[in-house]
Amino acid sequence: MNLPWKYLLDQMEIQTENNVKKAVTLSLYHDSSLYTLSLIYPGLLPYYTRYHPLHLSFMDGYTNLDSSGGAKQGDRVSVEILLVSSKQTLANTWLVDILKLHPKGSARYIAIFPNGMTPFNSKGIDARIAAYSTLAKNIGSEVALASTKTDVTTAYNNLLAARATQTNAKTSTKDTSGTLNDLRVAAMEMQYRNLGGIMDTFFDTREVLCPLLFDLVTLRINPQTLFTGNLVGSMKKAVLANTFKATDTVDVKATQITRLYLSTTIGGIDSTPITVPANIKTTINVADFGVTDYTAHRFLTIVNQAVVAGKYSITLQ
């Protein structure tokens, strides 16, 4: 079996097959560079003219999907917030009320919590939601815990409704993703065709010109998405630099209460702070930093609000 010649394989399309954001970065770079350099080298104008409409269609498709994805992400955040709130109420109110009547380890306590707190700490969202339904059933018809059962049932119903909204948003997003993929392929194929044409048109200067027109760094490298580290008490630390969009999200978990900032300088704090509670994975909406120029505000800073040391992990979505 003969393998295809590697130069006949469209690396733009291949490298972005499962990474739409990477394709967006490549397209923005190629389109803007073509426009800028075509003012100096008129021979580039035909390549810009044929690429620009595909770029605009791709960006429009991505924006539409991003809006849908933003709704989906917002719904996921709503579920997580409700889960955190319900767990806090469980620990601070419902569990306290139950322990007043049934000491830990008693037969009745074990009947209400046969698996302890494990179901409420499950990795799966649906399993955590179901745990509240099980708790309400286990409380049963005990008169002294009637109001507690009502509150637990209400929390379960709210979680169930939020989860249903999230599921519907996921379906809507999936319906539009096929069209976006077609637009991605069209843009990446035209970039590949432009590469061949530009190499021919500017053969003597191709080694200088091509890196100015194609984002080779992004094409060759998969960007880091997970950042971890340690923070001493009250420490401020520069975590990463990235060009965000308002619809982007960041997942954060830290062992101590922390604050995050999206700054214009490395280690800066010139944005609206976002507080992350200890030991709770939190999804942050980048728009909540309150900045408008994401080309200037590129540096994520984390600040330990506790006097003791802690660890953190930050994941770019």
DSSP 3-state of 239: strand
Half-sphere exposure of 223 (CA within 13 A, CB side): 20
CA distances from 52 to 30, 56, 181, 190 (A): 9, 6, 17, 10
- Predicted confidence at residue 4, as pLDDT, reads 66
pLDDT at residue 271, rounded to an integer: 93
pLDDT of residue 103: 93
Q: Convert the pLDDT of each residue in 63-81 to its tens digit.
A: 666 544 444 444 444 677 7
Give the up-direction half-sphere exposure of residue 42: CA atoms within 13 A in the CB hemisphere.
0
| Dist CA 136 CA 24 (whole Å) | 48
pLDDT, residue 175, reads 47
The DSSP element (H or E) to which 217 belongs, if any, is helix 216-220
* Inter-residue contact 269 to 245 (CB < 8 Å): no
Q: What is the pLDDT of residue 72?
A: 42
Q: What is the pLDDT of residue 178?
A: 59
- Residue ranges of the chain whose pLDDT lies below 70: 1-4, 63-78, 123, 165-178, 222-223, 295
SS3 195: helix
pLDDT confidence of residue 73: 44
Q: What pLDDT is attached to residue 295?
A: 67
**Domains defined along the chain, listed by start:** 1-223 (no CATH), 226-316 (2.60.120)
**Helix, coil or strand: residue 246:** coil
pLDDT at 298: 81
Residue 248 has a pLDDT of 82
- Residue 70 has a pLDDT of 42
pLDDT tens-digit series, residues 109-143: 999 999 888 888 876 777 888 889 899 999 999 99
pLDDT at 242: 75
- Per-residue confidence (pLDDT) for residue 169, from 0 to 100: 47
Q: Does an H or E element contain 23, and which?
A: helix 20-38
**pTM, rounded to two decimals:** 0.44
- Residue pair 129/159 in contact (Cβ under 8 Å)? The answer is yes
